Amino acid sequence: MRKSAFACGLLATAAFSASAWANEDVIKLSSDPNNWAIQSGDYAGTRYSKLDQITTDNVGQLKVAWTFSTGVLRGHEGGPLVIGDVMYLHSAFPNIVFALNLADEQKIIWKYTPKQDPSVIPVMCCDTVNRGVQYAEGKIFLHQADTSLVALDAKTGKELWKVVDGDPKKGETGTGAPLVTK
């Protein structure tokens, strides 16, 4: 009995604390299955989509609908984000970010090319990968290889602010997708 009560209390605490730090904008966008507003699909990291167009019956009939080249022929480890009719994607170093209009033949809305010191490349582990961008409150967040965290205006691609949180000369690099909380 005590173990059950403890387990229920622990689950309730975990559920409450998760909602306490989650960004409301991202939660609202993620409630629409047509959006993919966070790299892992949701704050629980499930990577599960509620869309049902692809089934076990038709998966074998899938064909490529379109492709897009970032122009960077290195490791691409992060998936795109989709907010409404806009897809946000990025490249490996130099961490170029693109906004594509999905309603207009995937035309490029904007492109952000950060200026980074290429001396960070030999410090990086496992190629020059980047694991993605994050959206929240009208901004796209990118953690660049040089450890800069950048906020871009989601509509224009304009750099709004930039913060350095490491030093490649000490072996520190940035490859992870940001996780936006409150």
Q: Summarize pLDDT for 31-62 with one digit per residue, the tens.
A: 999 999 998 888 888 999 999 999 999 999 99
* CB-based contact 80:86 (threshold 8 Å): no
Q: Which residue has the higher pLDDT, 117 or 67?
A: 67
Q: What are phi and psi of 71, to 5 degrees?
A: 85, 0
**pLDDT score of 142:** 93
DSSP H or E segment with residue 143 = strand 139-143
Percent share of the chain, pLDDT over 70:
88
DSSP H or E segment with residue 100 = strand 97-101
pLDDT tens-digit map of 125-182? 777 877 889 999 999 999 888 888 999 999 999 999 999 988 888 888 888 888 888 7
Q: Residue 62 corresponds to which tokens in the numbers above?
A: 């899938």
Q: Which residue has the higher pLDDT, 21 or 134?
A: 134
Collect all residues with Cβ–Cβ distance below 8 Å to 84 and sequence separation of at least 6.
Answer: 35
DSSP H or E segment with residue 28 = helix 24-30
**pLDDT score of 20:** 59
**pLDDT score of 169:** 85
Q: CA distances (Å), 160 to each of 90, 140, 155, 175, in order?
A: 18, 10, 12, 20
Collect all residues with Cβ–Cβ distance below 8 Å to 108 and sequence separation of at least 6.
Answer: 98, 99, 100, 101
Q: Which residue has the higher pLDDT, 21 or 58?
A: 58
What does pTM read for this prediction? 0.84
Structural domains in the chain, CATH included, are 23-45+60-170 (2.40.10.480)
- Classify residue 75 by burial, with Cβ atoms within 10 Å: 0-12, 13-18, 19+: middle
**pLDDT score of 12:** 43
Q: Taking 80 as the threshold, does the pLDDT of residue 1 lie above it?
A: no
Q: What are phi and psi of 120, to 5 degrees?
A: -75, -25
